[in-house]
């Protein structure tokens, strides 16, 4: 007997998608900024939770999860779109990610590799280590 195909929920708008995913209010402004900078064809519910933003240009899908967004093609793209520091995605090794303002993973949870990378990030202006907040203590 053949399996029934599973359907993916496609949202009518990004606002509908973030409400359905119940993302924290503190993260929604940065998420909106990202979708204003990167053209998205449609937003789908992810089976593992969160939202998938399918790009119009066929690039990596953006994955919006409660505490981060991943799928940026480059560090520069992620930083321009989000307005914050972008990190290499240690899980995939092929794209970039940003931490959202409200993220418990940044406070000690998450993978050891991600914590090490955050701890070892250097300020591009002065070269000093940047704390987990992503804001240089010396240049801000």
End-to-end CA distance of the chain: 62
**Cβ-Cβ contacts under 8 Å for 47 (sequence gap 6 or more):** none
- Model-wide pTM > 0.75: no
Q: For position 103, what pLDDT does the model report?
A: 79
At 103, list the tokens: 């993220």
Q: What's the Cα-to-Cα distance from 106 to each of 2, 11, 62, 66, 93, rounded to whole Å?
A: 43, 29, 20, 12, 19
Model pLDDT for residues 88-127, shown as the tens digit of each residue: 887 767 789 999 998 765 554 444 445 455 445 666 676 6
Q: What is the per-residue pLDDT for 140?
A: 58
Task: Give residue-wise pLDDT tens across range 32-67.
Answer: 999 999 999 999 999 888 999 999 999 999 999 988
Please give the pLDDT value at position 134: 67
Residue range 10-22: mean pLDDT, rounded: 94
What pLDDT is recorded for position 112? 46
**Domain spans of the chain, in order of start:** 10-103
Residues listed for the chain: 140
Burial class from Cβ neighbours inside 10 Å (0-12, 13-18, 19+) for residue 79 reads middle
**pLDDT value of position 105:** 58
């Amino acid at each position: 007997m053949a399996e029934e195909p599973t359907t993916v929920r496609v949202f009518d708008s990004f606002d509908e998608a973030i409400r359905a995913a119940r993302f924290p209010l503190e993260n929604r402004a940065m998420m909106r900024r990202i979708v204003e900078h990167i053209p998205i064809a449609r937003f789908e519910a992810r089976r593992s939770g969160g939202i998938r933003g399918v790009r119009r240009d066929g690039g990596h899908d953006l994955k919006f999860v409660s505490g981060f967004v991943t799928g940026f093609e480059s560090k520069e793209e992620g930083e321009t779109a989000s307005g914050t520091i972008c990190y290499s995605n240690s899980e995939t090794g092929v794209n970039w990610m940003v931490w959202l303002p409200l993220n418990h993973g940044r406070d000690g949870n998450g993978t050891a590799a991600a914590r090490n990378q955050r701890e070892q990030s250097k300020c591009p202006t002065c070269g000093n280590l940047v704390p987990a907040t992503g804001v240089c203590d010396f240049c801000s």
